[in-house]
Structure 1
Amino acid sequence: MIRVFNHYLRRQTLLQVLLDLGLIALSVIGIHLLHPQDPTLLVPSAAAHGLLLSACLLVVNTASGLYQPTRRRSLNHSVARASLTLILMLAATYLIFGLAQGNFDALSSAEWVAMLCVAGIVAHRVYAAHADVPSRPPARVLIFGSGEAAQMVGQTLRECDPQARVVGYFPGPNETGSVIPEAELLRGRGSLRECAVELGVDEIVVALAERRGGSMPLRELLDCKVGGIRVTDLAGYFEKMLCQIRIDHVRAGWLIFGDGFQQGTYRSMVKRAFDVLCAGILLIVSLPMMVLTAVAIKLESRGPVFYRQERVGLNGSTFRVLKFRSMRVDAETDGKPRWAAAQDSRVTRVGAIIRRFRIDEIPQLLNVFEGDMSMVGPRPERPFFVEQLTEQIPYYALRHSVKPGVTGWAQVRYQYGSTVADSLEKLQYDLYYVKNHTLFLDMVILFETVGVVLSGKGAR
């Protein structure tokens, strides 16, 4: 994993993105060199085409999931995703080069070459994802611990990082009740440092259930770190591998003295400018869809087109969120708030469609203009649920230290939640965002939101 602007990315994903963008740049440069034009226009024209095509490719590939790990995806599935990507990218290429030439009557040779290059890049993405190409030597990881936490680390490592190999589990001196098979325990190999050196370990993950009474050999861990072996604690490990802050393995001291949770005036100003710009563009683009949605809602059922509901925002203050009405007007006649459920009978036919593709959320762009919400942040919850969840879930109130968002890290990483357990899982993603949020992470979330919207994933 590589940390880019406080956000952890898989090394392979970053290399894939850079390779695709590099191929786009080379293709555009080659096209312009093969089609002579005014030398004074060569660089601006190539730069404009390259930047636009690169931005389109990045958004479409991210939204279609082509940069996601392929270990659970068949070749046919990848081909289907690539086909959709190809259709969108060919249309984008045609428009980008056609607008520059002001002629859409017939495809020019430059457009043909550009479209062939884009098709080759998309096809290469599928090939690279499934080809059995030798990779770098796997990282050798030793897990210090033998309890349930250590078992979870090993399982997560195998699922999330195919480029890592667990060499074994080194039991702590005071640990009891090991859940690791005896064959995987590293016994009789001397001290922790001696064992790590003998096995050529690259990283040690400290997953001890008990850290008191001399259970943590600090001197040996320090010697390992000085000797070039990475030493990672449990909370940091899950933050890096899962991009979430695990409530069951985090300590208040780690949150207080660690990095992150930086707000600042400059960050707030940049985020506000980014919010207003994105909200303005999206409002203009989505205006026809909003008009059609309003007409459909009005034709299907009586009641208002829009729906306002009290939500908890920054620092616990409340505001009224604006949405398209997707439920009957008598959805909560008893006055008791309820989470939406799968196949909820309160949802109208039009409501089911607009909820599936998140169209009901579009009016919240006006909340962004008003300053109550941001484009990206933890989703705002109703005061009734916030009061309950704050009492039941540790650190829940931390999610209110930033503005709530139209979309968020939890929304692109986890399904819709309707239980306390779901809220706990989503909070762990929200805390990761609150701790590490930057403009870069905001853009990553917006790109992934496109894929969530198009697929209708997690909607209710």
Structure 2
Amino acid sequence: MIRLFKHYIPYPVLFLGLIDFLLLLAAAEIGWILRALQINMQIGSLFDRPAPIFSFAFALQLALIAVGGYGSEALQSLRFAVARTLVAISLGVIFLSLLAFAMPGVTLWRSNSLYAMVLAIVFLMIIRILLGTVIDIDVFKRRLLILGAGPRARRIAALEKRSDSGFIIAGYVQMVDGPGRIDGAVRRQDIDNLLQHVTDLEVSEVVLALEERRNSLPVADLLTIKTTGVHVNDMSTFLERETGRVDLGSVNPSWFIFSDGFSSGRRLSKLFKRGFDIFLSFLLLVLTGPVILFFALLIKLESEGGAFFRQERVGLYGQKFNILKLRSMRADAESAGEAVWAAENDPRITRVGRFIRKVRIDELPQAWSVLKGEMSFVGPRPERPQFVADLQTKMPYYAERHIVKPGITGWAQINYPYGASIEDSRHKLEYDLYYAKNYTPFLDLLIILQTIRVVLWPEGVR
């Protein structure tokens, strides 16, 4: 993986993205040439039209990212690739139309775009077929040596079996006496030279998966291995990189203290994030105002009670505030006055409410809280005080998710289905902590784009 703006990107995804961008540039240029030949226009040079060519490639690549075209199945399922590419092309048309409206003259003509779109579909499909059948994806994977042969090592072994795994385990070393959990693990006392063992296995990274470090951590060996250019990582950092979340089962307070990250409070980042929030929330309220009013009317017609409702939530540094949402449940959903988790097929949800939850329309009025500064566009989901008080007693580091403003969308929302239990909250907390630790404007942009995928394919929404 490569770390770009503090976010890890797998090498195959980066490789595919670069090839796609070049192919999209080629599709735009060939489309221009074909149209020019058709109407007997002078072709000229590529350097005469850089803005239309690059805007076409840029818009379609953003669309591919937005619909999940670079997900784990991108090179493994042709059906998946075809479906996501066709949706991306459609979304790209919308992006280009908005760009043409905002900046006339920087996009291709409609006749050029038609040729370019058809060529883009053909080129993108061909490269996915070739990469999926000809190129061995294992070439991009790192070779690991795992120091440990217990339950932690087995967790890494399970990760290796995932379809989107970015590594291959070359071997295990059992560091302490006693029964191991991994078949084929080599005992440390049977290895004369650990550095030579690493070299023989052509390992590029060593991961510490020790159950107990005292009297078992080979400091001298690790120092030698590190100075030869082989990466050495503890399990918590390794899992953070591979899963995109902070693993609560392996971290400790010292890891939070000494690892990098948690820089969201820097002045420049805060100014950028606030400026972006003001612009996007104002634009969203203006563009979706009629939609909000339309569904507010439908809610009033379907059931008694107000179309909107306010609810107290916990925000930045634990401060309480009220969010505004379109009502999706019956007005008496919590008549007892106690907060209740939403359940799958919850009978309290109205027919209109089920639809607006599915496409996230009920969340739109929260843009007002973003405009006021109580929320951000991207951040952890704001929870109710009753749930927060309960969850803080049941899982570690829950309070740390409040070091950033809550958001309408977030890293947890795009990576984990809607959760309504303690275990779901634990998994979402791991993603929230990753976001709080690794926040950059780049990650915010990636989350906003990926939110489109969640809206188009709303798996797990309740």
User: TM exceeds 0.5?
Assistant: yes
Tell me the percent identity.
38
| Shift in alpha-carbon separation, 1:29–1:84, aligned structure 2, 3 A | closer
Deviation per CA, 1:84-123: give whole Å up to 9, x if none: 3334445666786799589x9xx86423332233223432
Summarize the alignment of residues 228-247 of structure 1 with structure 2, pairs less than 5 Å apart. Answer: 228-247=229-248
Shift of residue 250 of structure 1? 0.8
Q: Which residue of 2 aligns with 1:325?
A: 327
* Residue 171 (1) aligns with residue 187 (2): no
CA distance 1:413–1:196, change in 2 (3 Å): same
Whether the 8 Å CA contact 1:94–1:115 is kept in 2: the answer is no
Q: CA-to-partner distance for each residue in 1:254-307, whole Å, 9 max, x for gaps?
A: 111221001211110010011112222322332332222112111111111111
The match for 1:124 is 126
Mapped partners of 1:164, 1:257: distance in 2: 26
Q: Secondary structure at the match of 1:353?
A: helix
Count of matched residue pairs:
452
Aligned-pair RMSD on alpha carbons?
Answer: 2.8
Unaligned runs of 5+ in 1: none
The one-letter code sitting in structure 1 at the alignment partner of 2:51 is: A
- Find the aligned partners of 2:411 and 2:362 in 1 and give their Cα distance: 19
The one-letter code of the counterpart of 1:79 is V
Query: Which residue matches 2:222?
Result: 221
Q: Give the match's secondary structure for 1:247.
A: coil
State how far apart, in whole Å, the 1-side matches of 2:271 and 2:97 are.
37
Change (3 A) 1:131 1:283: farther
In structure 1, C-alpha distance between the alignment counterparts of 2:97 and 2:124, rounded to whole Å:
16
Which of 186, 189, 205 is matched with 1:203 structurally? 205
Superposed CA offset, 1:416-459 (max 9, x none): 11111111111111110000000000011111111001112221
Q: 1:398 aligns with which of 363, 378, 400?
A: 400
SS of equivalent to 1:339: coil
Q: Give matches, 1:24-103, under 5 Å.
A: 24-29=24-29, 35=36, 46-48=50-52, 50-51=54-55, 53-70=56-73, 74-89=77-92
List runs of 5+ in structure 2 lacking aligned partners.
none
Distance 2:198 2:247 in 1: 27
Q: Look up the equivalent residue of 2:450 and give its one-letter code.
A: E
Match in the other structure for 1:309: 311
Cα distance 1:189–1:72, how it changes in 2: closer, same or farther (>3 A)? same
Correspondence for 2:22: 22
Matches of 1:408 and 1:343, distance apart in 2: 24
Deviation per CA, 1:364-384, whole angstroms, max 9, x where unpaired?
Answer: 111100100001011100000
Distance in 2 between residues matched to 1:204 and 1:329, nearest whole Å: 56
Change (3 A) 1:168 1:161: farther
Answer whether contact 2:147 2:206 (CA < 8 A) is retained.
yes
- Residue 377 of structure 1 aligns with which residue? 379
Q: SS where residue 394 of structure 1 aligns?
A: coil
Q: Given the superposition, is the C-alpha separation of residues 426 and 112 from structure 1 closer, same or farther in structure 2, using an over 3 Å criterion?
A: closer
Match of 2:433 among 425, 431, 434: 431
Q: Which residue of 1 aligns with 2:160?
A: 157
Does the 8 Å contact 2:86/2:121 carry over to 1? no
Partner of 1:257 in structure 2?
258
Q: Which residue of 1 aligns with 2:13?
A: 13
Aligned mates of 1:272, 1:251 — CA distance in 2:
32
SS in 2 for 1:159: coil
Secondary structure of the 1:142 match is strand
